[in-house]
Amino acid sequence: MAKERTSKKKESQARQIWKRFRKNKIAMAALIVLGIIILAACSADLFWDYQKDACNIHVPQRLQKPSAEHWLGTDELGRDMLCRIVYGARASLTVGLAATTFALIIGGILGSISGYYGGKLDNVIMRCTDVLLAIPGLLLAIAIMSAFKPNVFYISLALGISYISKFTRIVRSAVLTVREQEYIEAAKAIGAKDHVIILKHLLMNCMAPIFVQYALAIGSRILSVSTLSYIGMGIQSPTPDWGNMLSGARAYIRGNSYLVLGPGIALLLTISAFNLIGDGLRDAMDPRLKK
Amino acid sequence: MEKDTRPMLEIKDLVVEYRTEEETVQAVNDINLTIRKGKSLGLVGETGAGKTTTALTILNLLPETTGRIVDGTIALDGDPIITKDSSGKSVAAKTDVEMQKIRGNKVAMIFQDPMTALNPIFTVGDQIAEAVQLHQKCTPKEAEKRAEEMLELVGIPGSRKTDYPHQFSGGMKQRVVIAMALACNPALLIADEPTTALDVTVQAQVLEMIKELKEKFGTSVLMITHDLGIIAEMCDEVSVMYAGSIVEHGTLEDIFDRTRHPYTRGLFNSLPNIKDRTARLKPIRGLMPDPSNLPKGCAFADRCDYATDRCREGKPTKRMLSDTHFVDCCLYEDGKDEDRL
Amino acid sequence: MIPVTVAVIFIVYLIMYLTPGDPVALLLGADATPELIAETRQKLGITDPFFVQFARYVWNLMRGDFGMSWYTGNPVSERLFAAIPYTVTLSLLGMLVALIISVPLGVIAAVRRNTVWDYSISVFAMIGVSAPTFWVGTMLILLFALEWKMLPSAFNNQWTSFILPTITQGFNMLASVVRTQRSSMLEVLSSDYVRTARAKGVSHFSATYKHALRNAVLPSITVAGLNFGQLVGGSVAIETVFAIPGVGRLMIDNIKLHDTPTVIGCMVFVSVMVSIINLLVDILYGLIDPRIKAQYVKGNKNGKRKNK
């Protein structure tokens, strides 16, 4: 059988994963698309003036169809769609990254404590995640947002909190599978401190599944932030965000489909890029599952 | 040897590859096997030597997307399974529907890991009865009754037919698998490491049972294993497989008493010696070569104490040392049967 | 399930308790006298300590009393019960449609993997998990209501107006289940027991649809259960898109009005509904998988079955 061969290749695991990832054309395409989106979001100021082009209202130019001057047309308040879509990437990406990272840190700490120590502490933490998972994440975020001002910081916080329990679960199960392995026993036997074991040995060795989840979670958070903005509980106009752009376009979609196509496709591309990267990472880490 | 008996299974010049986008793995390299009716043949070798691939090829159950039969023929009781077409290419002689009538009926297989070999959501009775109903004209009632009988035969109370696989221990599951395999009185039983996953005491019981059933029904057995003890217990003839090739073949006595190939000797030296416990084990050094990149010469040369430049330059010549004893090693290229190890 | 529900209510209640907003100002308007304000506060019970308020809320809830709306002054249950049928119908229909379509699609993709079928289904599923539901809804309105004029764009209580919201609501779950079903089917098809089945002479068809499918459907059920929360959560946006007077819409409107009792009522209802669906999923799982069923039976009888 063509089972896993005990080959002499001594490459580090990360390099092997990267090598396999690079062969995955779809995942690489997603990485490139994401790179372009990030680059555009960073260099937007080279092409536009944020206040003047993205926020200020130009009523005479409202609802213009795509043209040479406005490639994607103008919105219901006369602002250039392309400009707002590019600036909109900033909000989405910032919140997506911040919320996911926050959830990962808190969930990572709780999950590794829970998985490593087990027992009563584990029980308590797991019951808490049960409760949090019973509330739909978006509704929890909405509830939290109702207590705060809708700005990037609080939105990230709300969307992060609503994802903590998922990361706690993922990190815990990753830690559980690694915990029983011999090198952890060995580290304990030579008297390593608990936090050293958790940080150095446990977490380093369960990076793989966590990375995959990290990529997927960013996609999911961006989706949530757009939904929050769409229902008016997220990023507020005039700050451009794909969600609130779609919300603003609602009354005008008849005959102006370009208003929903632009921001919608931007969302679709960004979120699927993160999802495809996550999928690609998972395939690269576990080549057995590859089609 | 009773030369008058016709062969139950005849494999000639079989070559099987696994092809993926990244590499081509040569799993089986030009092997020949013959099992006579009512006899049992042991196929010994390390993990990854191509033993399971050989077994799956007989049933035409290689993984569809990757496995490919490159060359060779297989005949079952004189009936071709793999044959050559007019251009000399090896093709399946039977359609999948025709093969379905052979699988589980004429040829049955026992798999290595009983823990995963049974479908978790069907009762064991149903799983045995399914095999019966597929091959014999009978009502569901009769099939169920037969399943019950088979369970009794392998030492499980027939009343447990309504239990699910998770309610059985590993050894019991393997008995169920065996009951399923024998339900239609196969002429050939392929046992792929049937005891590797079991406890030692259970191993002995399962082997004893296969042996009894073999004698009772005159079944031919292809026993795949890496355990020479099982071979000594169960088999009439032995083939030693290494990196997809058969390096030595002979009767039980040929292999055990007149060991000729350095690899076979290495397998014996890897076993602990009960009579002389101070003797150190002499494991075979190194690992099997990468099957996607086999060396030009003898595949065992790098691990062999007797290897010369000759071994690394080209494949050894296959030699019959006696009527029954075959060896594939450069040491015996003069064809003389003397111990050179 | 009940302790989890109480804990959920606690969290929701706590968050909303901390939310700024003065019910008295809402109820009485700006020009009320201080005495009247104080009296109303007393009457509403919001001067009591948090835990007293919470205990009273749970106690009332058990009798079906969701409290009084700060905005209308009427019982919350009136508006809530008027909204519930819409949300329940759409969520369950969405889930049903998602499951009915996604399982066969996932199976086709796995059985015909690396063909055009597989690729198109996979692309479709990737769009489904990546596209925000409200955008999908908007696009459906654009195409089916405005462009082709086949279906109504807004909700009008006729069955035709259920079609687009149902598709929208189920779309995300549909895509997740397709992906799960495809990969679990692939895994099961290469499992030892399917090989065993083939080795005993089972046909390719029967091995795929009898032996593999029932096993491969289990992870999909799990994913569908887990995603149900997300599906219901999505109703806040979908009900906005299609102007449906459901629970999500009620909740969003009342958050903006700071009508805390109504918001809590909505959240509690949704959480309970999610818990019930998850319970049903567990039961369904047990029906299909004898290993799970055995766990329940064992758990209930304290291992009496051990010496069978």
At A1 the pLDDT is: 37
Contact check, Cβ <8 Å, C200/B59: no
Q: Which of A1, A6, A7 sits opposite B53 (nearest CB)?
A: A1
Contact B247, B299 (CB under 8 A): no
> What residues in A contact B47, CB-CB < 8 Å?
3
**Residues in chain C, total:** 308
- Structure confidence at residue B339 (pLDDT): 78
DSSP A289: G
Say how many C-beta atoms besides its own lie within 10 A of residue C74's C-beta: 10
Residue C16 with chain A: CB contacts under 8 Å: 143, 146-147
| Residue A95: both structure tokens together | 């919140």
Min Cα separation A211/chain B (Å): 25
Q: Is the CB of residue C109 less than 8 Å from the CB of residue C178?
A: yes
In C253-272, the residues whose Cβ lies within 8 Å of chain A are 255-256, 263, 267, 270-271
Tell me which residue of B231, B232, B230, B249 sits closest to B240, measured CA to CA. Answer: B249
pLDDT > 90: percent of chain B: 34
Q: In the CATH scheme, what is the code of domain C82-307?
A: 1.10.3720.10
Burial of residue A186, with CB atoms counted within 10 A of its CB: 0-12 exposed, 13-18 middle, 19 or more buried: exposed
* Inter-chain residue contact A146 with C19, CB threshold 8 Å: yes
- Residue A206 banded pLDDT, cuts 50, 70, 90: confident
Say which DSSP state C243 is in. Answer: T
Give CA–CA dist A188/A117, Å, rounded: 13
Predicted confidence (pLDDT) per residue in A34-87, tens digit = 999 999 999 988 888 888 888 888 888 888 888 888 888 888 888 889 999 999
Distance between CA atoms of A12 and C274, rounded to whole angstroms? 44
Q: What is the pLDDT of residues B15-71, one digit of tens each?
A: 999 988 778 888 898 899 999 988 999 999 888 888 889 999 999 888 888 888 989
> Which H or E element spans position C173?
helix C160-189
Among candidates A133, A139, A233 on the partner chain, residue whose Cβ is nearest the Cβ of C270: A139
**What is the Cα Rg of chain A in Å?**
22
Task: Find the CB nearest B180 among C198, C200, C290.
Answer: C200
Predicted local confidence at residue A2, as pLDDT: 38
Distance CA(B116)–CA(B170), nearest Å, equals: 10
The reported pLDDT for the residue numbered C298 is 57
Q: How far apart are CA C122 and CA C100, in angstroms?
A: 17
Instruction: Name residue C301's amino acid.
Output: K
State how far residue B9 is from chain A, nearest Cα, in angstroms.
21
Taking the CB of residue B247, how many other CB atoms lie within 10 A of it? 25
pLDDT of residue A159: 95
The side-by-side arrangement of strands in the sheet containing B90-92 is B24-36, B7-19, B67-76, B79-84, B90-92
Res A88: pLDDT? 93
Give the gap in angstroms from C-alpha A186 to the nearest C-alpha of chain B: 26
**Mean pLDDT value across chain A:** 86
Q: What is the pLDDT of residue A164?
A: 94
Q: Give the pLDDT of chain C (308 residues) as one tens digit per residue.
A: 678 888 888 888 888 888 776 777 767 776 778 888 888 777 777 778 888 888 988 899 888 888 888 888 789 999 999 999 999 999 999 999 999 999 999 999 999 988 999 999 999 999 999 999 999 999 999 999 988 888 888 888 888 989 999 999 999 899 999 999 999 999 999 899 999 999 999 999 999 999 999 899 999 988 998 889 889 988 999 999 999 999 999 999 988 888 888 988 998 899 888 888 888 888 888 888 888 777 666 554 443 333 33
Neighbouring chains of C at 3+ CB pairs under 8 Å are A, B
- Which chain B residues have a beta carbon less than 8 Å from that of A3? 47-48
Which residue among B18, B27, B290 places its CB closest to the CB of A7? B290
Find the mean pLDDT for residues A199-218: 83
Give how far A19 is from chain B: nearest CA, Å: 12
Show the beta-strand stretches assigned E in B143-219.
Answer: 188-192
pLDDT number for residue A288: 56
Measured between alpha carbons, how far is C93 from C99 in angstroms, rounded to an integer? 10
SS3 A231: coil
Rounded CA separation B30/B238 (Å): 17
List phi, psi (to 5°) of B82.
-115, 130
Whether residues A6 and B291 touch (CB distance < 8 A) is answered with no
Q: Which of C150, C164, C183, C187 is nearest to C243 (CA)?
A: C164
The C-alpha atoms of residue C104 and residue C285 are separated, in whole angstroms, by 18
Q: Do B25 and A6 touch (CB under 8 A)?
A: no
Is A136 in contact with C256 (Cβ distance < 8 A)? no
Helix (H) or strand (E) holding A205: helix A204-205
pLDDT score, position C305:
38
Chain C positions in Cβ-Cβ contact with residue A139 (cut-off 8 Å): 232-233, 236, 251, 267, 270-271
Supply the Cα-derived Rg of chain C in whole angstroms.
24
Please tell me the predicted confidence (pLDDT) of residue A287. Answer: 59
- E-only strand ranges, C15-67: none
Q: What is the pLDDT at residue A290?
A: 43
Q: Tokens 């809590």: give the residue.
A: C264
Mean pLDDT of chain B: 87
Q: Is the CB of residue C251 less than 8 Å from the CB of residue C236?
A: yes
> Does B27 contact A7 at a Cβ distance shorter than 8 Å?
no
Looking at residue A5, what is its pLDDT? 41
CA dihedral A232, A238, A243, A249 (to 10 degrees): 90
At A146, the pLDDT band (50, 70, 90 cuts) reads: confident
Strand-pair partners of B44:
B225, B240
Q: How many CB atoms lie within 10 A of CB A288?
A: 9
Cβ of A2 within 8 Å of Cβ of B18? The answer is yes
Contact criterion met (CB < 8 Å) for A268 and C127: yes
- The pair of structure tokens assigned to A82 is 């392309």
CA distance B299 to B245: 9
Report CB contact under 8 Å: B116, C192: yes
pLDDT of A3 strictly over 60: no
In this predicted structure, the answer to whether residue A234 has a pLDDT above a threshold of 50 is yes
**Domain residue ranges of chain C, discontinuous segments joined by +:** 2-62, 82-307
Residue C214 and residue C167: Cα distance in Å, rounded?
Answer: 26
Q: Give chain B positions within 8 Å (CB) of C190.
A: 63
- CB–CB contact C252 A142 (8 Å): yes
Place B170 in a pLDDT band, splitting at 50, 70 and 90: confident
Q: So what's the pLDDT on residue C299?
A: 52
Closest chain A C-alpha to C233 CA, distance in angstroms: 6
In tens, the pLDDT along A240-290 reads 999 999 998 888 888 888 899 999 999 999 999 999 999 998 888 875 544
Decide if B25 and A7 are in contact by the 8 Å CB cutoff. Answer: no
CB-based burial of residue A124 (10 Å sphere; 0-12 exposed, 13-18 middle, 19+ buried)? exposed
**Residues in contact with B87: Cβ distance below 8 Å, sequence separation at least 6, in sequence order:** none
Q: b/e per residue, B327-337, with b = 16+ CB within 10 A? A: bbbbbbeeeee
Three-state secondary structure call for residue A191:
coil
Question: Are residues C271 and A275, on separate chains, in Cβ contact within 8 Å?
Answer: no
